[in-house]
A and B are shown apart, each in its own frame.
Chain A
Amino acid sequence: MIKIQNLHANIDGKEILKGLNLEVKAGEVHAIMGPNGAGKSTLASVLAGREEFEVTEGSVDFEGTNLLELSTEDRAREGLFLAFQYPVEIPGVSNINFLRTALNEIREHRGQEPVSAKEFMAMVKEKSALVELDAKLANRSVNEGFSGGEKKRNEIFQMAMLEPKLAILDETDSGLDIDALRIVAGGVNTLKSDKNATIVITHYQRLLDYIVPDFVHVLYNGRIVKSGPKELALELEEKGYDWIKAELGE
């Protein structure tokens, strides 16, 4: 589904991604772990099209298109979804209004008819239940006054509404208690299918007990330095990132 080759990216002149390679196929769940500053959030931002980052080398093929040539909104319309680590609050813009606009712009891009009000409200009811998000919150302004857990659940609610091909979860588990974690993971698992894929970026192994990955990659110093099955996450948790550094001969 997505093939990242030799990706180099910098911000303010500092190179963060130094030749990252990653391939994710439909139906797969990939976890990316790594110490702080390794480039995890940078990877997410670059894939979503954040303009502050400059891609200096490499390519990203997403379902046959050159992702790096697309604007942020076109990437979303092509089926990319980024669940933000720190979702921003947008006072005055209702969740409902925002989602309907997004859904319709995506549909327009795909040559589909806009969603009817009735169909849309039915979708809202169904999908908000998936992440136990109170219907009342759906009527509020985007993330305004939401707790950390509610914001993260709102991200997954949006994911459920927009049905992306590739979802990138950027430290979705950070700041969540065990109950919120369970609900978020439950939502992600329900949305998983053999037609879509998920990249889970996380610092802690705990989330991976709930969202079980097919592959685990270690991102260190801007590159993927080690890949393995889900057991790698447990080994990493046990031995720490110093183990990786030792392996690399540092």
Chain B
Amino acid sequence: MSEVIQDSKIAKFQERLTKTTLGINGDVLAAAQNTLATLDFPTTRVERWKYTRVAKIANKTFTAARGSASVLNLPVKDAQTIVFVNGFYDAALSSTEGQAGVTVQPLSANVATEFIGKNLRTDNNVFAALNTVYATDGAYVHISAKTVVEKPIQIVHVLTGDNTIANLRNVIVAEKFSQAEIVQVFLSENATESFANNVTEVFVEENAKLNIEKLQNEAENNFHISNEHVKQAKSSHFTINSITLNGGLVRNELFIDVEGENCDTHLNGTYVLKGSQQVDNYTTVDHLFPHCESNEMYKGVMDENSTAVFNGKVFVRPQAQKINAYQSNGNVLLSDSASVNSKPELEIYADDVKCSHGSTTGQLDEEAIYYLRARGISEKSAKALMVTAFIGDVIDRVENEEVVNYIHEQLHSRFGWDF
């Protein structure tokens, strides 16, 4: 039992927050509360937080205030959509029409209590602990065995207001042999210095196929921390594409435990930054069983004073033979003051595996830009052509055409790029 800290920043942080009314298991809550009593916000002296200064968040007092939003532009027009504003369910903006065998409900309907906290360990994770103790609401998506979901399920969160904190908690369960696509969209409307603290727990059961397209698009003066904890059972397929289009300080912690043989895991991401944005992606894939494959590709483009972090960990445990695990991270810096920290990590304990990792960071090829200009293309258009080609690789992995169009549209309006 660690020492209880006195006068911590985190104690002050919690002053204006209300404890959760969701039916969360007592032990889960206790563990989270213990973390908040014995740990403070991480400083840059903690290895995992070496590159992320959380002072912007830690030093503020946020309130969990309700808000209203209009959400006019959603990526998927024909989807089963559930909307949360500042972490509270908004029934009016959500569509209740669904398919048999598909449950899409807010957690506040007193559902999913046996799942909340099952995947997530809050021991060293202050933000996940905060979310657990103060969670207001979130989506519960449960797909019954053998159900093939026809329309995408769209989970929308909108951050609004000044200094608002939204502790959104989501649970996604894909039962045996089910197939579904989920689009998670994070937006903001008239939000300033607000903070979306998101936790999503995902259970992919045997032979299930689940695709998650995650779009982060909160305005540049807001913060977003996401903890995604996924467990895959044998013979399942799981893909998550994390597309970060905006956000002042964004940190994604993605944990995937591959707990069965014959699984397929795909994690792709792209982050496109300018101004003084910072986007950190920490991913962990843990291969616990043999005969599985994981494939990871993250690509980033940093302009102006922006900075990014990519830390990809892959564990292959001693009993996990015949694993194919591939990881690559590519970064393009468009300005002299942009920077990136890329740290691929492979910890391999089995001896009959194929694993690779690669990281590249550089500028756009000057010779190529000159060639394009020599054909009459302006320098700006030449750079746009090359950048879109670079991240196109990741965007190509998004299967939903409406989501791809939304991404193109957003990048066009923010950077002036055409695809």
**A interface residues, Cβ below 8 angstroms from B:** 48-50, 71-73, 76-77, 82, 84, 87-93, 97-99, 101-103, 105-106, 109, 141-142, 158, 162
Contacts and interface: CB of A to CB of B under 8 A. Distances in A.
Nearest to A92: B389
A101 B392 CA distance: 17
A87 B393 contact: no
A98 B385 contact: yes
Contact of B372 (A90, A92, A162): A90
Interface string B359-378: 00000010110111111111
B390 interface: yes
A73 B385 contact: no
A97 B385 contact: yes
Nearest to B372: A98
A73 B378 contact: yes
B390 A87 contact: no
Interface string B339-382: 00000000000000000000000000101101111111111010
A71 B370 CA distance: 11
Contacts of B372: 90, 93, 98, 102
Contacts of A89: 368
A109 B371 contact: no
Interface residues of B, number: 20
B368 A73 contact: no
Contact of B376 (A76, A87, A91, A97): A76
Contacts of A141: 389
Interface of B: 365, 367-368, 370-379, 381, 385-386, 389-390, 392-393
A109 B376 contact: yes
Contact of A88 (B365, B377, B379, B381): B365
6 contacts: A90-B365, A90-B371, A90-B372, A92-B393, A102-B372, A105-B381
A88 B365 CA distance: 10
Given A88-B368, A90-B365, A92-B393, A101 B385 contact: yes
A172 to B, nearest CB: 15
Given A72-B370, A88-B368, A93 B377 contact: no
A76 B373 contact: yes
B387 to A, nearest CB: 10
Nearest to B380: A73
A93 B371 CA distance: 12
Given A88-B367, A92-B393, A72 B381 contact: no
A187 to B, nearest CB: 17
A159 to B, nearest CB: 10
A72 B374 contact: yes
